[in-house]
Structure 1
Amino acid sequence: MLTTQIHGVIFDMDGVLIDSEPAWQTAEHLVMTELGVPLSFEDTEQTTGLRIDQVVHYWYARHPWCSANDYDNLAVANKIVSQVVNEISAQGQPMAGVIEALNACQQLGLKIGLATSSSSAIITAVMNKLNIADYFEARCSAEHLSYGKPHPEVYLNCANALGLAPSNCLAVEDSFNGLIAARAATMQTVIIPAPNQATQARWAAAHHQLKDLTQLAGLLEQFRE
């Protein structure tokens, strides 16, 4: 029996609601390699969950010789975001169990929020593609915050927008950076890692680990018992 009272569920977006990580990886790899940053597809996993300006800075900080000429973080970030928006709008697919999980939250009377590192343009693209905007009482982006994930600010802002104490919220994440942010916000946490990362020891930092969102309804029922 779980004694923590959960009154709201706050979802990360990329990799939790929509299968956008391949789009992010493709865009990140394409743009950065065009600019001379020696990046592999496997390398892009290191920046999962970070805000786009942090992603660009992360790679240029590790390859400073690439930023010697005309380095423009905003321009590079916007180019990556534009490619991701186009990819999502064209062929974005929901992660397994998204609608089932959102309906379960509603049926249990839980408030639903979104806390993402992605920009408002990507949020809009995802909401429209999946037709899920009406489920969310609060949608918060770290786009214009001083710090993105793993800083907890975007999660704290979302809890506040829902009118809930952070400790009464359950955060659903797929990345380690997001998990750190939710834990720092004092929330209960669910991690749903990519299948090829599911056995990594670092996920022990989460309160709960699920295979996908089809299992969320069962977990939420435990909080109600």
Structure 2
Amino acid sequence: MSLTTIEAVIFDMDGVIIDTEPAWQKAEVEVLNQLGVPITMKDAEVTTGLRIDLLVAYWYQRNPWDNYDNRAVAQQIIDKVVTFIETEGAPMRGVIDALKLCQQKQLKIGLATSSSTDLIDSVMAKLGIRSYFEAIASAENLQYGKPHPEVYLNCANALKVNPAHCLAIEDSFNGLIAARAATMQTVAIPAPEFAEQSRWVIAHQQLEHLGQLADVLDTTTRI
């Protein structure tokens, strides 16, 4: 990463702060299979980072089912993920240390996620980390979710930081596109099984886990 002034670090949630991506994919497959949509866990990878209503619409457009109710299907998937968070949710490697590091460097900390408020609340409560965040932005009620940049721009605005001076941390390609479109510096931390894919080249830097964030912040400056 080139030497850049960083004033804030904005985290994605699912797959960056908490390991929920497998739970999302499992819930997605279970609910949609019950509706007659023959998708697999591999198929579900393509929707990683999409807002839940866009995810449901994506599959309906490709394999329509009777009595389409986007909100009801979305809620079924969300309920399964919330249950997972409450029973098995655990922080991703290096999360707490990364949050403490940002505080020590006097960087503002934000969250920009496609997930709904109830999921955000579940994660914050389960991990006990809400106090670290000065701004939490959800794409839940926005016109567009990721890969549109609005949720990132909203978070930067709430932090009162120019987006160009924000560092966004993402695990999904859709999220990475959103952060780049918001003119932010970016770090990609893809799941290990996807880490060798060439598409991550659009990130300014790629890490294996948040425990390596110190190396990134040491190459940046701050006003």
TMscore range, shorter length = over 0.9
1:47 & 1:2 partners in 2: Cα distance? 31
2:155 is aligned to 158
2:29 is aligned to 29
Residue 6 (1) aligns with residue 3 (2): no
| Structure 1 runs not aligned, ≥5 long | none
2:171 is aligned to 174
1:54 is aligned to 54
Q: Residues 199-210 of structure 1: matches in 2 within 5 Å?
A: 199-210=196-207
2:23 & 2:199 partners in 1: Cα distance? 25
2:41 & 2:165 partners in 1: Cα distance? 37
1:41 & 1:169 partners in 2: Cα distance? 33
- For 2:197, give the aligned amino acid: Q
3-state SS in 1 of match to 2:219: helix
Query: Displacement of 1:22 after TM fit?
Result: 1.2
- For 1:41, give the aligned amino acid: M
1:4 & 1:172 partners in 2: Cα distance? 15
3-state SS in 2 of match to 1:222: coil
- For 1:146, give the aligned amino acid: Q
- For 1:126, give the aligned amino acid: V
- For 1:163, give the aligned amino acid: K
1:192 is aligned to 189
- For 1:99, give the aligned amino acid: I
1:32 & 1:134 partners in 2: Cα distance? 36
3-state SS in 1 of match to 2:32: helix
1:102 pairs, out of 99, 104, 110, with 99
Give TM-score, length-normalised by structure 2.
0.98
Query: Displacement of 1:3 after TM fit?
Result: 2.8
1:159 & 1:120 partners in 2: Cα distance? 18
1:125 & 1:70 partners in 2: Cα distance? 30
| Misfit runs of 4+, over 3 Å | none
2:45 & 2:162 partners in 1: Cα distance? 32
2:219 & 2:67 partners in 1: Cα distance? 54
Please give the root-mean-square deviation of Cα atoms over the aligned residues, in Å.
1.0
Query: Displacement of 1:180 after TM fit?
Result: 0.2
3-state SS in 1 of match to 2:109: strand
Query: Displacement of 1:151 after TM fit?
Result: 0.1
- For 1:210, give the aligned amino acid: L
Structure 2 contact 4–221 (Cα < 8 Å) conserved: no
1:100 & 1:2 partners in 2: Cα distance? 23
1:222 & 1:4 partners in 2: Cα distance? 8
Aligned residues: 222
2:203 & 2:113 partners in 1: Cα distance? 18
2:214 & 2:158 partners in 1: Cα distance? 23
Query: Displacement of 1:224 after TM fit?
Result: 3.0
2:103 & 2:16 partners in 1: Cα distance? 18
Query: Displacement of 1:222 after TM fit?
Result: 1.3
| Structure 2 runs not aligned, ≥5 long | none
2:123 & 2:218 partners in 1: Cα distance? 27
Q: Which deviations, in whole Å up to 9, do the C-alpha atoms of 1:110-135 show, x marking residues without a partner?
A: 00000000000000000011110000
- Percent sequence identity over matched residues? 63
1:216 is aligned to 213
2:88 pairs, out of 81, 86, 91, with 91
3-state SS in 1 of match to 2:168: strand
3-state SS in 1 of match to 2:218: helix
Residue 143 (1) aligns with residue 157 (2): no
